[in-house]
Chain A
């Protein structure tokens, strides 16, 4: 039972264009969502997060949108750069006593120069 899903295993985008990575979840108790970026042979690195009381959070070139009614969030990267090429993981937590993160399976983003 996968509670967090990233249905696109990979995405290819031209440098300078917008990258849109999508994530769907099934557990309505999730109230905090995070995006992590992972390069090969490294650990995931936190990118941006959003609380369920918001529908948008922006940090530089990165914006996360949350649609609670659709149980959907997306990460927008504008403009995309070759250094953004990595695997992006969506994660969610229900803010319970443990802050346990439930991860999606990741999307491999390739930004072409």
Chain B
């Protein structure tokens, strides 16, 4: 059983397009996250939801919009894609906000041409 899954694994698209990445966790966790790993391999938090409520919103362009339909899902929608959006995006989950390890999905490699 996959604990944290993401779709698609690879996404290649043109500049200006709108795309979505989906994330689902079957761990019963309350908190989910989106991280971006850029070309320099730096992993940085973007957003976090706890029980469908946004609790972290880092300095991310407003072209990025997370959506959590329920606490098991956190999707990432990106409008007007730019070359600099090319990166690997990781979803993660955690049982709460009071500490403990986060469990990561396999990542989605986004390439913007």
Contacts and interface: CB of A to CB of B under 8 A. Distances in A.
Interface of A: 32, 34, 36, 41-46, 49, 87, 89, 93, 95, 97-103, 105-106
Interface of B: 4, 31, 35, 40-45, 48, 50, 55-56, 90, 92, 94, 96-107
A42 B97 contact: no
Contact of A99 (B41, B100, B105): B100
B56 A44 contact: no
A100 B42 contact: no
25 contacts: A32-B99, A41-B107, A42-B107, A43-B90, A43-B104, A44-B43, A44-B104, A45-B104, A46-B102, A46-B103, A49-B101, A93-B99, A95-B98, A95-B99, A97-B55, A98-B50, A99-B48, A99-B98, A99-B100, A99-B102, A100-B48, A101-B45, A103-B35, A103-B43, A106-B43
